[in-house]
Structure 1
Amino acid sequence: MATPFTGEGERRKGSVELRALAARRLRPVADRGAPGKVNRPLLATLGELGLLSRVVPLAGPVRAQDLCLLRESLAYACTEAETALALQGLGAHPVVAHGTRAQRARWLPEVAAGRAVAAFALSEPGAGSDAAALELRAEPTGAGGAIRAGGADGAAVSGWRLHGEKRWISNAPQADVYTVFARTGPGTRAAGVTAFLVPADRPGLGGEPLEMLGPHPVGTLTFDGVPVGPGDVVGEVGRGFRLAMATLDLFRPSVGAFAVGMARSALDASVAHAGERRAFGGPLKDLQAVSHLLAEMATRTEAAALLVQAAAAAYDAGEPGVAARSAMAKLFATETAQYVVDSAVQIHGARALAHGHLLEHLYREVRAPRIYEGASEVQRTIIAKELFRAAGAGASP
């Protein structure tokens, strides 16, 4: 098993440096952004600092450990910067891993520089946690309506038109390019799904923003005969669902890292507050109920961090059982962060509920990661399936 402790000293040093960078350079830009809107100046700053190129590399794979380090460190000091970086990486990763030379040349430099906004369009009104239930249709075009995208020769299937809706899509409808998953074949569930790279200016593509609990841009996309061709296919026709799941295997541990960053921020704020705040004749830290709660928060946070690091190290090493490890990391870390932030609010009392307080902000941020990229219940299902799969193969998970 790959050890999560390799280069631990460098990892901690890098985390401290990233936190300081986020507080100094990214926090002021984030504060000038509008809730629910893509903050393009923030993306440009992430690109200028070279952070986006680490999750959208022009050559080579994305390292899960690097992604987790970035997300945890940025989340500690600036959740808006963390999410902006993560969404760029998620939206572009199918192209990084499986895109054609033309797709990579057209979009990756722009996304890595923060000049183009990317989005990952998988969820639908009837296919959220159950992503395999997606219904967006890709209808083949006839000879008279052939689509010649990407230099396709028109043989066999010359193109498709997309019909349907996507919902709860981060960065929609403000993104510049979408990785869209649609059903091209007659199969059900995971069969017959294809990934397409769809620029925002395609005719028939619409959408509207959704007002959500968190401050990040989320919206719907509508497809009214949106034309796509063979040059827009990412990977292989009919194998898009596998591509989507492979992308999530990489990003799920890093969702856990995002959660760990928020938990560490809430914990540090609580320790400081308990040492300064006086009540019942002394500082809060002298109350056993408070000190024991802080100890529990710290222990769970450290356990979550180690589980995330182990999953990321296993991914980078190509070890078996990555799906289960990724699911465990996301499940435990996001549930832990919810507990830690909620406990931090309790320690701070009413002041933590005031608009603009760090914990009020974290309280709104921490809820969504237990749902997106597979709800906690989905992660438990994945883990259980992998346990039984490993048992049937006579191996440990």
Structure 2
Amino acid sequence: MADRDFLRWPFLEDAHRDFAARVEAFAATLPAHHDDADAATRDLARALGEAGLLAAAVPEDGRLEVRKLCLARDILARHSGLADFAFAMQGLGTGAITLFGSDELKARVLPGVRAGTTLAAFALSEPEAGSDVAAMATTATRDGEHWVLDGEKTWISNGGIAGSYVVFARSGEAPGARGLSCFWVPGEAMRVVERIHTAAPHPLARLALDGVRVPDAHRIGVPGDGFRIAMSVLDVFRSTVGAAALGFARRGLDLLLKRATTRRLFGAPLFEQGQVQAAIADAAMDVEASALLVYRAAWLKDQGTPRVSREASMAKLHATEAAFRVADAAAQFHGGLGVVAGSAPELLTREVRALRVYEGASEIQRVVIARAERDRRAG
């Protein structure tokens, strides 16, 4: 598209531009709306695998390149929110194995997820432990060469249809967040308590672990290392949530510009109204600022910066809030059409909303940023 000039920024290299072109060609064939979210997610994951694009989310060499992840989510979200979801969950759901898993576990789990024939899930949140991971109640009790897992997880994306789950549980090596461990659990061991239906449909569920026995060989990392593993995975993928929001914002700006230049009001294009020009200007600035924050955070991570929590939180916070503003403007200037169920502006406003909540709500990102600023200045 004509507005892809950011691909020439110094954050990106020729390999990233080539990858972006492959994703763009794939995304151009996708419908924006899917009637059956479960079936569509399966189909999209398989198509992404056949196109070789899931190799960026589930790399064979174990190196998660955040700039490629961000490019894929930026482009896919602009075309299809569910395609972005299918791509992202294959990476998030196996990130702990990619980064910390044994060679045996990698060989067992990753090829199917990379091919898109098996769906993956990241089971961290619980009914009383969302952003407050230290409040986790699911337990992992050692029993010889096995662990026994009991508890509930909720708001689990791909819940109920995934064949592979990374599960976090309290193993008790220390109080609070220091006493968590990480395990791989096959899909058939997870009991579906309820499927959760959201404004923008995608597979989501509340799940139970009822005395699930997990071999010690399926533990990821050392006992008590679960919190560090979870935060390391989120440190990689939080910037990519901002990238998805950026893609949604680009779609909103497209809708806003098309409406302003094709709709006539009082004998002149809607674009001639000053308030419409102001909305377009604000949307364009939001898109540009989000892109700078997202690709800066991704570049820093790819350069080997140990922790990019501050930068990733800035990218996620700004991009998701900006996308919400842009989507709202697009709906507003479509008038009645902006709230017609299934219309492009209405679909976009539903797709954008969840990004301000998952992988750390906007309020939590502000806490992370504020603490980082305090610590930087104190140090």
Answer whether contact 2:93 2:122 (CA < 8 A) is retained.
yes
- CA deviations over 1:133-180 (Å, ceiling 9, x no partner): 111011222xxxx4xxxxxxxxxxx22211110000000011101000
Q: Please, which of 199, 209, 212 is the counterpart of residue 223 of structure 1? A: 209
Which residue does 1:65 correspond to in 2? 67
Q: How far apart, in 1, do the equivalents of 2:40 and 2:289 lie?
A: 33
1:205-216 equivalences in 2 (<5 Å): 205-216=191-202
Q: Does 1:327 align with 2:313?
A: yes
Which residue does 1:176 correspond to in 2? 163
Shift of 1:59: 1.4
Answer whether contact 1:38 1:171 (CA < 8 A) is retained.
no
Q: How far apart, in 1, do the equivalents of 2:182 and 2:303 lie?
A: 26
Q: How far apart, in 2, do the equivalents of 1:14 and 1:283 lie?
A: 38
Shift of the 49–13 alpha-carbon distance from structure 1 to 2, 3 Å rule, reads: closer
Q: How far apart, in 2, do the equivalents of 1:8 and 1:303 lie?
A: 20
Q: How far apart, in 1, do the equivalents of 2:19 and 2:329 lie?
A: 28
Which residue does 1:149 correspond to in 2? none
Higher Rg: 1
Shift of the 7–245 alpha-carbon distance from structure 1 to 2, 3 Å rule, reads: closer
Which residue does 1:153 correspond to in 2? none
Shift of 1:347: 1.2
Which residue does 1:349 correspond to in 2? 335
Which residue does 1:19 correspond to in 2? 24
Q: How far apart, in 1, do the equivalents of 2:104 and 2:173 lie?
A: 29
Q: How far apart, in 2, do the equivalents of 1:321 and 1:172 lie?
A: 29
Shift of the 107–11 alpha-carbon distance from structure 1 to 2, 3 Å rule, reads: closer
Which residue does 2:3 correspond to in 1? none
Q: Does 1:196 align with 2:186?
A: no
Output the amino acid matched with 1:117: L
Q: How far apart, in 1, do the equivalents of 2:374 and 2:280 lie?
A: 37
Shift of 1:13: 6.7
> SS in structure 2 opposite 1:59?
coil
Answer whether contact 1:38 1:216 (CA < 8 A) is retained.
no
> SS in structure 2 opposite 1:72?
helix
Shift of the 15–353 alpha-carbon distance from structure 1 to 2, 3 Å rule, reads: farther
> SS in structure 2 opposite 1:58?
coil
Answer whether contact 1:4 1:306 (CA < 8 A) is retained.
no
Q: How far apart, in 1, do the equivalents of 2:131 and 2:191 lie?
A: 24
Superposed CA RMSD? 1.9
Structure 1 unaligned residues grouped into runs of 5+: 147-157
Shift of 1:230: 1.0
Q: How far apart, in 1, do the equivalents of 2:110 and 2:42 lie?
A: 16
Output the amino acid matched with 1:59: D
Answer whether contact 1:67 1:254 (CA < 8 A) is retained.
yes
Give the TM-score normalised by structure 1.
0.89
1:125-136 equivalences in 2 (<5 Å): 125-136=127-138
1:248-397 equivalences in 2 (<5 Å): 248-319=234-305, 322-393=308-379
Shift of 1:11: 5.1
> SS in structure 1 opposite 2:172?
coil
Answer whether contact 1:163 1:226 (CA < 8 A) is retained.
yes
Shift of 1:188: 2.7
Which residue does 1:166 correspond to in 2? 153
Output the amino acid matched with 1:81: A
Q: Please, which of 75, 92, 104 is the counterpart of residue 90 of structure 1? A: 92
Shift of 1:132: 2.3
Q: How far apart, in 2, do the equivalents of 1:11 and 1:285 lie?
A: 35
**Identity across the alignment (%):** 43
Shift of the 286–364 alpha-carbon distance from structure 1 to 2, 3 Å rule, reads: same
Answer whether contact 2:173 2:223 (CA < 8 A) is retained.
no
Shift of 1:279: 0.6
Q: How far apart, in 2, do the equivalents of 1:33 and 1:12 lie?
A: 33
Give the TM-score normalised by structure 2.
0.93
